[in-house]
Amino acid sequence: MTSRLTRSLLAILFACSAWSGAAKAGDPWQFWPELTWYVQLNPLLRLYLDDSYTVQGDTDAQSLDLTAAIDISVKPIARKSIQSLDWQRNRFFWIRIGYDHNGSGSNDTVDTLENRGILALNATAPLPKAVCLNGRVEVDFRWIEGDYSTRYRFRLEVNREFIVLGRSIVPYFNVESFYDSRYDAWSRTLYQGGSEFTVNRDFRYEIYLARQDTRLPDRSNVDALGVIAKFYY
Domain ranges (residues) in the chain: 2-232
What lies within 8 Å, CB to CB, of 30 at 6+ separation is 54, 55, 56, 57, 222, 223, 224, 225
Which pLDDT value is given to residue 74?
80
In this predicted structure, what is the pLDDT of residue 41? 96
pLDDT at 17: 46
Point out the residues of the chain with pLDDT beneath 70. 1-27, 56-60, 75-84, 107-108, 110
Predicted pLDDT of residue 92: 86
Report pLDDT for 20.
46
- For position 202, what pLDDT does the model report? 95
The span from the CA of 221 to the CA of 214, in Å, is 6
pTM attached to this predicted model: 0.84
Judge whether 198 and 180 are in contact, CB under 8 Å: no
Distance CA 16, CA 193 (A): 6
Question: What was the pLDDT predicted at 23?
Answer: 47
CATH architecture of the domain formed by 2-232: Beta Barrel (2.40)
Q: How confident is the model at residue 56, as a pLDDT?
A: 66
The Cα 67–Cα 93 span in angstroms is: 21
Does a cis peptide bond (omega within 30 degrees of 0) precede residue 217?
yes
Q: What is the pLDDT of residue 174?
A: 98
What pLDDT is stored for residue 26 in this prediction? 60
